[in-house]
């Protein structure tokens, strides 16, 4: 009876004084958000310190790199104006390439004794540190703004997506470990397939675009040009530009373009699941995808794609066994496709897309 009366009293308070109930609810949400924000700060600080320690161990700078790392953590990129979309792809390409070269050069300066492939990996590591720092700043902004204005709806929105944000933050932490130790990540599965396809059969190798190589092989009298980024440093290369140049060189005898990449799975789907389709399997800002689609359309070349399903966390963390095993299955499917769609004497392009960290030259 006493418990029932207490519940009745509380219900009456919430009905008679809705503002009081809302304030209690807001107070609870803010406390919950504050705990997650503190956890997010710990992850950010952990990644920052790991980045500093790795640069000290590998780059052996003469001065403390901490101020420079903190500066790079606030480094930003302004996308091109999209009000007039004409030519925006190449404007975006110019800005991204400038950003990448400047960022990489800054990392090279604070890690003077690092080898070239190590600079690439360290650049990725600093980008991870910058990413988690940006995530922390955004969450803190909405937390403080909601607390300052007592806006329950503002706080509610950030609280609802916090589980996903914390999952991303934990993935960042695991990714920082992978890049600091030079381990392959899930996103590199496309490159791994390309490396397995070439293994022991290479006839010729050359650089077709910045940080992007072509390896020529032959499969049952079919000439296959395998495009991928140059490892073992953390690098994605310029697969779009590489494929575009190859098509311009080989257009008279080119029968097929195949792209292989990691793809985001849906909840409930198995990691390492392989799906086939038509089009260009390349993520990112869309520049490489656009270039391949455009040149393929001009010359009427079919576009086939293979995607290996992963979660967003698996894509940037050390490669799981199920994903590595999927590379062997994709390899067999690619061979079968080439034999079915390309006649003897014909030429095909196979592009392995992804980050090459931990995957050989």
DSSP for 12-54, written as a single string = HHHHH-HHHHHHHHHHHHHHHHHHHHHHHHHHHHHHHHHHHHH
pLDDT in tens, 316-341: 999 999 999 999 999 999 999 999 99
Of the candidates 341, 235, 250, 340, the residue with the CA atom closest to the CA atom of residue 295: 250
Residue 58: phi and psi, rounded to 5, are -90, -50
Helix (H, G, I), strand (E, B) or coil at 205: strand
Residue ranges of the chain that CATH labels 3.40.50.1470: 186-352
Of the candidates 164, 165, 170, 214, the residue with the CA atom closest to the CA atom of residue 194: 214
* Residue 254 near residue 261, CB atoms below 8 Å: no
In this predicted structure, what is the pLDDT of residue 20? 61
Question: How many Cα neighbours within 13 Å face the side chain of 244?
Answer: 15
Cα of first residue to Cα of last residue in the chain, in angstroms, is: 76
In this predicted structure, what is the pLDDT of residue 175? 93
Residues of the chain with pLDDT under 50: none
Going through the chain in order, the beta strands assigned E by DSSP cover 204-209, 212-219, 222-229, 254-264, 274-278, 303-310, 347-352
CATH class of 186-352: alpha beta
* Residue 360 near residue 184, CB atoms below 8 Å: no
- Which residue do the tokens 């389709």 mark? 277
In this predicted structure, what is the pLDDT of residue 106? 95
Residue 8 burial (CB < 10 Å; 0-12/13-18/19+)?
exposed
In this predicted structure, what is the pLDDT of residue 23? 75
Q: % helix / strand / coil in the chain, to the nearest 5? A: 60, 15, 25
- Which residue do the tokens 């392959």 mark? 184
Residue 39: phi and psi, rounded to 5, are -65, -40
Q: What is the pTM of this model?
A: 0.89
In this predicted structure, what is the pLDDT of residue 14? 64
In this predicted structure, what is the pLDDT of residue 34? 92
């Amino acid at each position: 009876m006493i418990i029932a009366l207490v519940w009745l009293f509380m219900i009456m308070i919430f009905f008679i004084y809705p503002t009081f109930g809302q304030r209690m609810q807001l107070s609870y949400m803010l406390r919950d958000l504050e705990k997650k924000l503190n956890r997010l700060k710990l992850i950010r600080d952990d990644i920052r310190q790991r980045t500093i320690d790795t640069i000290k161990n590998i780059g052996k700078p003469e001065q403390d790199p901490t101020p420079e790392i903190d500066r790079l953590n606030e480094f930003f990129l302004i996308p091109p104006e999209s009000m007039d979309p004409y030519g925006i792809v190449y404007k975006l390409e110019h800005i991204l390439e400038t950003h990448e070269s400047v960022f990489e050069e800054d990392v090279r300066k604070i890690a003077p004794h690092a080898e070239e492939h190590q600079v690439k990996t360290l650049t990725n590591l600093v980008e991870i540190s910058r990413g988690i720092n940006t995530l922390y700043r955004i969450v803190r902004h909405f937390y403080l703004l909601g607390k300052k204005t007592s806006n329950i709806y503002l706080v509610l929105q950030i609280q609802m997506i916090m589980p996903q944000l914390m999952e991303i933050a934990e993935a960042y932490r695991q990714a920082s470990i992978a890049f600091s130790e030079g381990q392959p990540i899930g996103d590199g599965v496309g490159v791994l397939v390309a490396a397995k396809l070439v293994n022991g059969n290479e006839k010729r190798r050359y650089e077709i675009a910045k940080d992007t190589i072509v390896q020529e092989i032959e499969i049952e009298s079919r000439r296959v040009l395998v495009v991928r980024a140059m490892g073992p440093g953390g690098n994605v290369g310029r697969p779009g530009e590489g494929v575009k140049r190859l098509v311009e060189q080989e257009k008279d005898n080119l029968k097929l373009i195949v792209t292989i990449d990691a793809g985001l799975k849906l909840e409930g789907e198995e990691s390492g699941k392989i799906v086939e389709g038509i089009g260009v399997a390349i993520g990112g800002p869309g520049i490489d995808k656009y270039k391949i689609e455009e040149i393929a359309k001009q010359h009427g070349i079919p576009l086939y794609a293979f995607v290996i399903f992963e979660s967003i966390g698996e894509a940037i963390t050390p490669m799981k066994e199920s994903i590595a095993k999927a590379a062997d299955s994709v390899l067999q499917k690619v061979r079968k496709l080439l034999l079915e769609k390309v006649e003897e004497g014909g030429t095909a392009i196979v592009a392995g897309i992804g980050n090459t960290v931990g995957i050989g030259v």
